[in-house]
Amino acid sequence: MEVMEAIKNRCSVRSYQERPVEEQKLKAILEAARLAPSASNRQEWRFIVVRDKPARQQLMKAARNQEFVSQAPVVIACCAQTDNHTMTCGQLCYPIDVAIAIEHMALKAVEEGLGTCWIGAFFEDQVRQILGIPQEIRVVELLSLGYPAGPCAAPKNRLDFDQIVMQEKWRQ
């Protein structure tokens, strides 16, 4: 599969088959995250793979009762073991670096015939408690993973290219 095809086919999956994710595919997806770039090669990301149904049920509750969280056969807690390093531009490294790794996983999942959904609507303290995550570790996102129950909904509207790309300087 070409990269652009994976990008075009990626969507947020919120309904999953009960079919488990094969270990080989899961490892390939996690390897895609491991190979992601990071600021100063800090590699602050850490991932907790959750397959246990009762734990996924608890994560669903921590994620504002979004049912698909417990329905997905795998939920990955995407965390950062960080010293809160800030880049010269003023941005913290870890949220950006973890996000890059997550999208590597999402695109690799498409290639493997799987679907994902980024989940930012969750209570970090609850996820920490459920998964035994130490206080100094940040939970950046949750990522549901599994075989989609059906095709993606219609593509989302996107702004026109000329609305988002400017040449040389900002324009009004």
Q: pLDDT tens digit string along 20-61?
A: 999 999 999 999 999 999 999 999 999 999 999 999 999 999
Mean of pLDDT values over 158-169: 94
Q: Is the pLDDT of residue 172 over 80?
A: no
Q: What is the reported pTM?
A: 0.96
State the burial class of residue 148 (Cβ atoms within 10 Å of its Cβ: 0-12, 13-18, 19+).
middle
Q: Which domains does the chain have, with CATH numbers?
A: 3-164 (3.40.109.10)
- Pick from 131, 79, 122: which is nearest to 102 by CA? 79
Contacts of 83 (CB under 8 A, 6+ apart): none
Strand, helix or coil at 147? coil
